Amino acid sequence: DAAAKLARKDPENPALKPLSDILAKHNAKRRNQLDAGAEYVAAAEQRGEENFPLYKWTKAVIEDPAKIEKHSKAFSIHVAGEEIYGKDVADALEAELQPLVGGPLVARLTKHDSNPANNPQPPAQYR
């Protein structure tokens, strides 16, 4: 929890150095999921909700206190500015991050399949 708060407020803080060094080696940056959701909602509200298929679901998530708590601690890793990258890149990054898992900087680590068919779909009320 403390590391997640620090990563959001002060990503260059020396306490995060072991994680930051690994990310830098892979030209990667962490992205907080709550912040990403809030930016998505803001963009949708500015440019037209009809152009953002996940708007309603994302807005509901970022307004739900339990989800705020959960997503404020969750980060995705972007490599070379990209949210989606090859399995080989993900595997190499995972191998270096694995020793940090369970420690104060990384509670857990998961990889996600970018194929929408293999991911949760918005609940019916948000489609």
pTM for the complete prediction?
A: 0.89
74 contacts 33 by C-beta, under 8 angstroms: yes
b/e sequence 60-91, b meaning 16+ C-beta within 10 Å: ebbeeeeeeeebbbbbebbbeeeeebeeebbe
44-91 pLDDT, tens digit each: 999 999 999 999 999 999 999 999 999 999 999 999 999 999 999 999
Contacts by 120-124, CB closer than 8 A, 24 or more apart = 122/53, 122/54, 122/56, 122/57, 123/57
Task: Report pLDDT for 115.
Answer: 87
The position carrying tokens 């930051």 is 20
Strand (E) positions, 36-110? 75-79
Distance CA 31, CA 74 (A): 8
Torsion of CA 30, 84, 96, 68, to 10 degrees: 40
7-58 pLDDT, tens digit each: 999 999 999 999 999 999 999 999 999 999 999 999 999 999 999 999 999 9
Task: Report pLDDT for 120.
Answer: 82
31 contacts 77 by C-beta, under 8 angstroms: yes
